[in-house]
Structure 1
Amino acid sequence: MTPLLVGVLGVFGLFALMIFRTPVAFAMMIVGYFGLWILEGSRAASAVVLTESYSAVSNYSLIVVPMFILLGNISSAAGFSRGLYDAAFAWVGRFRGGLASASVLGCAVFSAVSGSSVATAVTIGKVALPEMKRLGYGDSLSTGAIAAGGTLGFLIPPSTGFVLYAILTEESVGRLFMAGILPGLLLMTLFISTIVLISYIDPKAGPRGDYVPLSQRFKVLGRAAPLLAIIALSIGGIYAGVFTPVEASAIGAGLVVLLAFGTRAINFAGFRGAVLETLKTSAMLYMVVIGANILNPFLAVTHIPETLGNALVGWGLGAYGTLLVIILAYVVLGMFLDGLSMLVVTIPIVFPVIQQLGFDPIWFGVVAVIVIEMGMITPPVGLNVFVVKGVAQDVPMATVFKGVLPFLLAMIVGLLLIIIFPPIATFIPDTMFG
């Protein structure tokens, strides 16, 4: 068999293993190892497993992941996420659809703590959904807003998706973090605009919340101020060039631990639970990175990325026509794979094509993450939809999927704007890093 044929069979085998519920990390390891064994022998395959595994876990940039995950878990366990939501609700809750808008704002701010879409949807959903139900919000709007708002956790820094993309492509984590800020704010604005539009079309879907006096608004904002200050210090420190992303993650995690114990918002049992959850999540992500590092050499030997790039260029679609094909492929894959799996499986294949077409790799990282976000709320997988359904157990799944459709359209608008106006993604990192 030719290396290309072995590579094609390996890719099909990879998807088959994932269809049969093999964890994506182990599926990549199996295909990468045995593929190299067939092409280059067991000695070379074993050497790749050893060297790439060590290289993956000793990657200094990857320290960002457990630190920011710990920051998010401590914040959630200490109840700081409730403070973020209460502050958002106090300021915008009195407007039509304000409670849903506050939920999106809460998701956006908590995304700057957790870096996880699922964690954001669960944390804000547990707080916001009961309140929206109490005020008579429509089930589709309330669940759709939480599911869509949760996707911001994959885009707004610190984003786990950007960390993995940086490792897979050897791009700068700091540049990617900064590239996610304006697109994240753009999507947040589009989501809130969608809520306002729905609420004015159907006032019963998003009634006004209770009026909160100005003094009370500042009081609630003051309770959330310490965590907001930590977020501003971490992300602002990266922007100002004071901290590297790794240093910012460690400082943020350390400060939120001190804040949680200093305010007695967490006890040792809660702290231990947050640390254990951080270890589990970090171990899973490290295994995914190891699997990707084993799969990548196999793909390189088979020349699949090179062959795919030549084929796409040979179709004569042009740069943006080829980009459209890649985006459509992501949309289809997003119906069956979760975001992290799709990222680590596709980037080694697609990224050389993007380079060949001359696109900015930082800009494409933002585009890829947004398309993957869309997959988080599209059927039949729609991970965030299932997460929200788990919180709102009395709401039918069909109602949740119906609720996310307007937000999915908003994400498409946001994606088109970033494609038409690339500086939305590149302005901040280009300004920072020259």
Structure 2
Amino acid sequence: MIGPLGITALGFAGLFMLMFLRIPIGIAMGITGFVGFGVISGFGPAITLFGTEPAQVLSNANLAVIPLFLLMGSLATVSGLSDDIYRLIYALVGHWPGGLACATVGGCAGFGAVCGSSPATAATMGQIALPQMLKRGYSPALATGTIAAGGTLGMLVPPSIVMVIYAFLAREFVIDIFIAALIPALLAVVLQMLAVLVFVRLWPNSAPAGERLSWAERAKIARGSWGVLVMIGAVMGGLYSGVFTVNEAAAVGVLVAFLFALGRRSLTREKVMRMVGETASNTAMIYVIIIGASIFTYFVTAARLPGALTEMFGALDVPPLVVIAGILAMYLVLGCVFETISSMVITLPFVLPVVTGLGYDPVWWGIVLIMAIELGMITPPVGINVFILHGIDRSIPLKTIFAGIVPFAVADLLRIAIVVLFPALALWLPHALQ
């Protein structure tokens, strides 16, 4: 009687109430989806979802890559490979004004390629780069803003855990998402470095130039960083050449990182137990979110919300880009309130049909969506990367970190606009490699 929009509005009200009661997002989505689907289609079929959906998610081989990426990132940190990335890039650009910040952006991108997680990238690079920048006279705003914004590259630089989740929920090949992200990720690195240079140009005293290393010294550092180059080459080269599947590439990355940690004698019983425990805990959390999202999708579909929204937007006398802009604005607002994965899995069941109904490619939308929700990781009031940096050095106020993020947020908005206006930046490479 109240129609699809009314039914789903009641469902979302229940979901928000459960979240307000501090029930984990995955469980809250599962409960809402069960009750909503039960009201529409009967509680008999709804009960079966608690058996079929967990079994489908847990038996899906494509999702097995999630714990492998998490473990690979932990091993890369313990073995010192993340330090190698930073030293190598700093040797090349550290003599620029703001060069240490540019090296941090490059280090975040490099670590993101072996980690796949934005919070892990921000935390790791924060521990490595923040003391170095502050010691060399960088302003706290630029130092923390660079790391918080650079940390979001862990989500965009493939391979990425969020891309795996999107590919599963959108039923797309994850390798297509990885390939589509390469050019936008490179664009992200370039624009963030430009943001650093603009910041330094406006406030010269915020980032003194470092010493210029000779080519002999750079070669020595490069030789000392061969481990991380081998690891990235093995994972990325094997993946994009077709030698490895995604799971195999992640397994090879874990093996390489483990061998380096073993060879450098950096593994202890305590570190191994901590890594395994953190990997298991984070994997369980992600799986619960995916299972809850799958059950919630049944409710949204049964309520016929995707079809109703597609018809409603189709009837509007506005260009499709206006609709896309409105959806992106919604994600920017959601990013201020929700954790990033949560905002994606909650909205994807009804947003993706609208986007594809407008004629857009779901692979392109995956990249645009990830860029939009990664911006939420540095915007107030949640801004998880900001709080990670504040936790590393509590002497730096939150308002200082948020102030330092402003130029990077502008660069991210510019990047989103460019990829929206020129979809070929994301789609050309996947089509060329088919």
Tell me whether the two structures share a fold, i.e. TM-score over 0.5: yes
Question: Alpha-carbon deviation of 1:216?
Answer: 2.1
Partner of 2:86: 85
Counterparts of residues 23-422 of structure 1 (less than 5 Å): 23-422=24-423
Distance 1:357 1:187 in 2: 26
RMSD value, Cα: 1.3
CA deviation profile, 1:46-86 (whole Å, cap 9, x unmatched): 11121011001111100111111110011112222112111
Distance 1:22 1:337 in 2: 14
Letter in 2 for 1:64: V
Q: TM-score, normalised to structure 2's length?
A: 0.97
Distance 2:224 2:10 in 1: 56
CA deviation profile, 1:90-145 (whole Å, cap 9, x unmatched): 21111100111111111000000110000000000111111111111111111110
Distance 2:17 2:326 in 1: 23
Aligned 8 A contact 2:81 2:227 in 1: no
The percent identity for this pair of structures is: 38
SS in 2 for 1:204: helix
SS in 1 for 2:338: coil
Letter in 2 for 1:232: G
Distance 1:9 1:323 in 2: 25
Partner of 2:431: 430
Aligned 8 A contact 1:77 1:274 in 2: no
Question: Alpha-carbon deviation of 1:3?
Answer: 6.2
Question: More displaced, 302-311 or 10-19?
Answer: 10-19
Aligned 8 A contact 1:74 1:271 in 2: no
Distance 1:422 1:305 in 2: 23
Distance 2:231 2:204 in 1: 37
Aligned 8 A contact 2:149 2:408 in 1: yes
Distance 1:265 1:183 in 2: 35
Distance 1:218 1:343 in 2: 43
Question: More displaced, 364-373 or 14-23?
Answer: 14-23
Question: Alpha-carbon deviation of 1:295?
Answer: 0.7
Aligned 8 A contact 1:164 1:289 in 2: yes
Q: TM-score, normalised to structure 1's length?
A: 0.97
Distance 2:205 2:171 in 1: 49
Letter in 2 for 1:44: P
Question: Alpha-carbon deviation of 1:2?
Answer: 4.9
CA deviation profile, 1:267-297 (whole Å, cap 9, x unmatched): 3332222121111111111111111111111
CA deviation profile, 1:168-193 (whole Å, cap 9, x unmatched): 11001000011111111111110111
Which runs of no fewer than 5 residues in structure 2 stay unpaired? none
SS in 1 for 2:137: coil
SS in 1 for 2:206: coil
Aligned 8 A contact 2:155 2:161 in 1: yes
Distance 2:133 2:329 in 1: 35
Following TM superposition, where does structure 1 have runs of at least 4 consecutive aligned residues deviating by more than 4 angstroms?
none
CA deviation profile, 1:349-388 (whole Å, cap 9, x unmatched): 1000011111011111000000001111111111111111
Question: Alpha-carbon deviation of 1:401?
Answer: 0.6
CA deviation profile, 1:13-34 (whole Å, cap 9, x unmatched): 2123223322110110110111
Which runs of no fewer than 5 residues in structure 1 stay unpaired? none
Letter in 2 for 1:380: P
Paired residues, number: 433
SS in 2 for 1:16: helix
SS in 1 for 2:225: helix
